[in-house]
Structure 1
């Protein structure tokens, strides 16, 4: 099981090295927003330019990173509420089965 600090660090590493390497210095993690679920953690982040200007053009498209207790950090799907996605993952119902 990951601690909150480990989840924030793993999320930061994912964002700065894989998701936004060209904007690594702009990524600001928001550790006070970290929420633990049975599947893992969610942590919000922002870009420094958005924080400074408030301009939505400088905001990330998705401002949440998922850090599973076991597995790689990733973005949740945007078509589901994050809590629903985390519940589906925890119960083994993600990805959805095609019928």
Structure 2
């Protein structure tokens, strides 16, 4: 199991070396937002420019990082479904939706 502190560090490493590597110095992790789920932790982050100016155009598009308990790589939470539902779906094995039914709705 990953601890809260480990989740925050893992999330920061992921964000700063991946999707926000060009803005790594602007990334501000928000450890107080960390929430534990059966699947793993969610940790939010923001960018200094957004914090300092309040300008919503400087806010990260998807500010939630998922750090799985099983040691899988950290990743961005999808913008849909809501984070809590996504984490429940991951824990129950129901992600991705329609897994094994590629022709659903077709």
Relative to the length of structure 2, the TM-score reads 0.91
Kindly provide the CA deviation profile for residues 16-46 of structure 1, in whole angstroms up to 9, marking residues without a partner as x.
Answer: 0011110000000000000000000000100
Q: Compute the RMSD of aligned alpha carbons.
A: 0.7
Q: How far apart in 1 are the matches of 2:80 and 2:33?
A: 21
Farther-moved stretch of structure 1 (74-83 vs 35-44): 74-83
Q: How far apart in 2 are the matches of 1:32 and 1:52?
A: 19
1:6 Cα deviation from its structure 2 partner: 0.2
- The equivalent residue for 1:73 is 74
- The equivalent residue for 1:4 is 4
1:29-44 equivalence runs, <5 A: 29-44=29-44
Relative to the length of structure 1, the TM-score reads 0.97
1:1-99 equivalence runs, <5 A: 1-70=1-70, 71-96=72-97, 97=99, 98=101, 99=104
Give the SS at the match of 1:19. coil
Q: Which runs of 4+ in 1 moved over 4 A?
A: none
1:79 Cα deviation from its structure 2 partner: 1.6
Structure 2: gaps (5+ residues): none
Farther-moved stretch of structure 1 (47-56 vs 75-84): 75-84
Structure 1: gaps (5+ residues): none
The alignment covers a number of residue pairs equal to 99
